[in-house]
A = this chain, B = another copy of it.
Amino acid sequence: MSLRHALLGLLAIKSASGYDLLRTFETSLAQVWPATQSQVYGELGKLTTAGLTEVSTCGPRGRKEYAITTAGRQELRDWLLEPQPPRVVRSAALLRFFFLGQLDRTEAAAMLHAEVEWATQYLAQLRAIETMTAKYDDELSRAGRLVLDYGISNTTAHREWARRTRQHFAAEADQDAGSAE
């Protein structure tokens, strides 16, 4: 049910049309909670039926601007303050690592090396975004910086893990080579 809360959160910051929200999903939220066009329009309808949002203005080209209602703000607060938020994780990356043992040690080391490289590049991207957006001080930018910082921490940890694990596999590969002589 999180798309619902993503939309409520964005509308709590600022009223917007489905189209506007979609732009925000593409830019700010892409790495947090991606959503497609059909999903956004569909959910906006459901939210309005549920009384959590309402159409505040109708503009040109059939544009409908949505605003959050009092009930919507309450729902958002409840979600933000849930004492035991669900922690379901589903990570394709982790799954691949789980089965690393199916590759031979050299291949595994190479795969982890690629992982380190990816993390390095991704970190550079994140830092670039951080620099570029440092000057903005609106609500959305502050929120973005929060999760950007989170992403940087996590990616750094990811890279360090991949480095350690790679060395681990590389050492085993060396042993193999040594005993094969």
Taking beta carbons and an 8 Å cutoff, which residues of A are in contact with B?
A: 2, 5-6, 9, 12-13, 28-29, 31-34, 76-77, 79-81, 83, 85-103, 107, 111, 114, 139, 142-144, 146-147, 149-150, 153-154, 156-158, 160-161, 164-165
A95-B154 CB under 8 A given contacts A77-B102, A149-B161: no
Residues of B close to A99: CB separation below 8 A: 5, 9, 12, 76, 80, 143
Minimum distance in angstroms from A153 CB to a CB of chain B:
5
Residues of B close to A77: CB separation below 8 A: 102-103
**Contact among B2, B29, B146, B153 for A100, CB-based, below 8 A:** B146
- Please give me the residue from chain B that is nearest to A169 by CB atom: B146
Minimum distance in angstroms from A85 CB to a CB of chain B:
7
Query: Cα distance A139–B111 when bound, in Å?
Result: 19
Query: Cα distance A103–B158 when bound, in Å?
Result: 30
- Residues B157 and A98 in contact, CB atoms below 8 Å apart: no
**Contact among B81, B94, B143, B149 for A101, CB-based, below 8 A:** B143
Residues of B close to A88: CB separation below 8 A: 34, 92
